[in-house]
Structure 1
Amino acid sequence: MSTATTAPEQDVDQDVEQPAASLRDLAIEAAALDVLAARVAAAKKDVRARLQTALDEAAQRDGVDRVVAELPGGRPVATVSLRRGSVGPVVVDEDVFARWVAARWPEQRAEFTETRVVRTVKAWRAAELVGEMAALDLSIEQGKSTRPAMWADPDTGELVEVPGVLIKPTSARTHSLTWRKDGKAATAEAWRTGGRAQQFAALTTGAEK
């Protein structure tokens, strides 16, 4: 007696073709996501500004430079860390700086500077001098963030205040967010199950400006 072989049963859902999204469906989906993306971008910009202010205040008051982001149940999902800005010499008046360089090295005036509408220090020499000022500033007592730049004469050791150059902030203080393992998935699940419903509602309600 022969036995007939039959093909394995197919999942009914796999045989049924899913209807393709209509052009109108795709259009409204794109429009809705555009609104949501704009609101998320605005909310992210706002919370970053408020978080930066809070981090700066905590760092100054308590020396705190990081905070753990936790879900309502106490599960840590990410760490936010303060990134301190940098300070260094910045040429704020090229004409005054160039006059100082030309007067300081008159024999190399043509080599170190160039004349356009005004005399300027050539980029390579400016980079050298600014580097020397930056190195010196790290070795002396630092006061307020914006102050005159100093240069040390290698022959005499004299500290000279450089016209047209200031020590000032060159990059702003900021912060970074580092996700923990599975932190993104846990946060998304909390959002999906209502754990962050208030935040989601704030993004999806209200009129556009």
Structure 2
Amino acid sequence: MSLRDLALEEATLKALADMVKERLTAVRLELQSGLDAAEKEAGTRQIAATLADGTTVATLSLTDPNPEAKVTDSDAFKAWVMEVFPSEIERRFVAEVREAFTTKLLAEMTAAGVPRVVDKDTGELHDVPGVQVKATRSRNHSLRFKPTGRADITTAWQSGALALPGITRPAQITAGGAE
């Protein structure tokens, strides 16, 4: 294949990928909205992706984000660590909580689900200021292909049995390399 042919193929594939990516973003948002509504109305948390011939190619399921402890007010957190765990402060031109200690405390609070830690030396329970335990990403959904799902979709697409709204199907897509 010539350099000119490769340049055209790359430009074509990039244009198609951009078009598909844009449509995928819109479809994911619409599906997420539909799944959220279906769960609220009927308790439905997943749906099968099925070809016209009845072949199930994938399952799409709601996922709930896991809450995770994050420092939301670093000054309040640092002041608390300076008071309760002064040995975990590194002094330079500015006082900072040691990164390893922050990581350790956040992991403990994430596991507990609340911004509290226990001082292992004294047994005292501390509410930790400047930290919240909350979801770090928005609710989403996952897509899991069946073992032959991708191949089934490819076959349906190539045969013309699968059409996608918003995506114009080229007359034929080949693997390339043929001259």
TM over 0.5: yes
1:87 is aligned to: 67
The partner residue of 1:174 within 112, 130, 140 is 140
CA distance in 2 between counterparts of 1:119 and 1:59 reads 48
**Greater CA radius of gyration, 1 or 2?**
1
Identity among equivalent positions (%) equals 36
Judge conservation of contact 1:95–1:118 (CA < 8 Å) in 2.
no
In the alignment of these two chains, the number of paired residues is 168
1:186 Cα shift?
Answer: 2.1
Alignment correspondent of 1:39? 19
The counterpart of 1:134, out of the listed 73, 91, 110, is 110
| Alpha-carbon distance, 1:170 to partner | 2.3
1:48 to 28, 32, 43: 28
* Partner Cα distance (2:11, 2:103) in 1: 50
Does the CA-based 8 Å contact 1:136-1:152 persist in structure 2?
A: no
Aligned partner (choices 64, 67, 73) of residue 47 of structure 2: 67
Instruction: Give the TM-score normalised by structure 1.
Output: 0.67
The 1:72–1:136 alpha-carbon spacing in structure 2 relative to 1, beyond 3 Å, is: same
Query: What is aligned with 1:162?
Result: 128
CA deviations 1:97-135 (Å, max 9, x no partner) are 111111124xxx1x2112345422112222232233223
Give distance in 2, aligned partners of 1:79 and 1:41.
20
> 1 CA distance for matches of 2:93 and 2:19?
48
In structure 1, C-alpha distance between the alignment counterparts of 2:72 and 2:57, rounded to whole Å: 44
Stretches of structure 2 lacking an aligned partner (at least 5 in a row):
170-179
Between 39-48 and 53-62, the greater mean CA deviation after superposition: 53-62
Q: Structure 2 vs 1, CA of residues 123 and 188 (structure 1 numbering), >3 Å: closer, same or farther?
A: same
Match of 1:184 among 150, 154, 157: 150
Aligned partner of residue 40 in structure 1, secondary structure:
helix
Partner of residue 167, structure 2: 203
Q: What is the rounded CA distance, in whole Å, between the counterparts of 1:100 and 1:164 in structure 2? A: 9
Distance 1:63 1:118, change over 3 A: farther
Gaps of 5+ in 1: 1-20, 139-148
Q: CA deviation at 1:25?
A: 4.4
